[in-house]
Amino acid sequence: MKKIVIACAVILAGVLSSCGDTNYCYKVTTTVNIEGFTMSQDHYVWGTSNELDAAIAELEAEMAEEGISKDLYSVEYKRANKSEADCY
């Protein structure tokens, strides 16, 4: 009986760990503060958490390319309640 319970727990853990591969819509907000002037811009990303990380890295690379230092901007994200068609 113990072996069956342990086997079920292992299978359940495997199923739940695969949930990180699901696609969601994320709202990514980039806020830049230069000389007291603050500007925010929203971007929407449809994908997995790994794709979200890649999109944030791309935004940060664009900031570096523009010559904006990391201490002058922030990038925040949260999951948006939008479908794939509405996530743009």
pLDDT digits (tens, 9 = 90+) for 48-85: 999 999 999 999 999 999 898 999 999 999 999 999 99
Range of the domain at 28: 21-80
Number of domains forming the structure of the chain: 1
Q: Is residue 48 part of a domain?
A: yes
CA 68 – CA 50 distance, rounded (Å): 25
Q: Is residue 59 part of a domain?
A: yes
CA 62 – CA 81 distance, rounded (Å): 27
Residue 20 has pLDDT above 80, yes or no: no
pLDDT for 11: 52
CA 47 – CA 1 distance, rounded (Å): 41
Q: Is residue 5 part of a domain?
A: no
Q: 30: closest CA among 20, 43, 19, 47?
A: 43
Average pLDDT over residues 34-59: 93
* Token pair recorded at residue 37: 């002037």
Which residues, including other chains, have CB under 8 Å from residue 51's CB and lie 6 or more apart?
45
Average pLDDT over the chain, rounded to whole? 82
Q: Is residue 87 part of a domain?
A: no
Q: Is residue 46 part of a domain?
A: yes
Statement: the pTM of the whole predicted model exceeds 0.75: no
Q: Is residue 9 part of a domain?
A: no
Q: Is residue 16 part of a domain?
A: no
